[in-house]
A and B are shown apart, each in its own frame.
Chain A
């Protein structure tokens, strides 16, 4: 059955056969979309997809009042099921990795940024920017900002960083955003604009 946004909402909050039919259709649509979205992911099987969709249905029904109609209902619901799935996949991949292990013995000491020979001018520009960046990181960022920034650069998901530091994804984003702003301002104050940085580190 083809439903517009109003029909989805009306049927999902109703009682009886309309609700049952809407739930069955929504479940089928989410499974279909999720299967396609995660087609290339390892560790994804039908049991995983079923579990995620079930979880998503509960969450979607609890958030119907948040749907503002800015998109199609199915698009909104699909975004929810995908976020749940990706969060779970990241959690499984990183569950046995501690934050300490990720950032242990790693520092921001700038070595050469390029394994190729970029030429003396670029090499000099890179070194000057890296030295300035290193100074800011060591002296102007908090320990928490340094740890979070480093963990992110090492590929650790924000959800996992948040779990380790007892926080949430938005708070982790704010920590790194504040760190990036500090780095950018300090580099600009030292005479390095975004264009200089881009030029010096262009692949």
Chain B
């Protein structure tokens, strides 16, 4: 069995996004609450949080958790 078109495209997308220095899931997790609040309130993302944005583009599980966090916070922010 070979990789599907979607899987190959996914791999190519990941390769294109790859940087030498990336934060891991735990480092992302420690910053994601601040990142989410900034996103929800439209505040700028400081340099120190850019790595979170990049990690979320790479890591499907952290992205899934982040999207769930945004859904939860929409209610809290009200």
Contacts and interface: CB of A to CB of B under 8 A. Distances in A.
Contacts of A197: 12, 15-16
B56 to A, nearest CB: 13
Interface of B: 1-3, 5, 7-18, 20, 22, 24-26, 29-34, 36-37, 59-61, 64-65, 68-69, 71-76
A59 to B, nearest CB: 12
A114 B8 CA distance: 9
Interface residues on A, range: 35 or more
B65 A82 contact: yes
A154 B7 contact: yes
Contact of A115 (B5, B22, B65): B5
Chain B contact residues: helix, strand, loop or mixed: helix
Contacts of B22: 177
Q: What DSSP secondary structure best describes chain A's contact surface? A: helix
A70 B31 contact: yes
Contacts of B73: 33, 75, 78
Interface of A: 29, 32-34, 36-39, 66, 70-72, 74-76, 78-79, 82-83, 85-86, 90, 105-115, 129-130, 133, 149, 152-154, 157-159, 169-170, 173-174, 177, 180-181, 183-184, 187, 194, 197-198, 200-201, 203
